Amino acid sequence: MPLFKKDGKEMAKSYDDNYSFTFNKSTGYYAGKVSINYANTEVSGVTYCEGKDKLVPGNYIIEVTCDGVVIGSTNLRLD
């Protein structure tokens, strides 16, 4: 799950191959990852995001990807 900081950069625990993934023919880095076998039924899931930098007040974009495609996104504002 990529987490974009207010400056538009991705937040990740590390920026090496262990935290990279491919989506929309681009390579990105994720802040949290969990595998879910949804089997065509609704399921809930939780992932915890980590980054090298602390979260600071501002706007963040969170995207959910599956098989290299963004399937959901939301905005988060920290005050």
Give the tens place of pLDDT for each residue, 37-59.
878 888 888 888 777 777 788 88
Decide if 10 contacts 16 (C-beta within 8 A). Answer: no
Could you state, in chain order, the average pLDDT of each consecutive group of 10 residues for the chain (79 residues)?
71 84 79 82 83 81 80 88
**What is this structure's pTM?**
0.68
Kindly list the domain boundaries of the chain, sorted by start residue.
3-78
CA 16 – CA 61 distance, rounded (Å) = 21
Decide if 75 contacts 60 (C-beta within 8 A). Answer: yes
CA 46 – CA 30 distance, rounded (Å) = 15
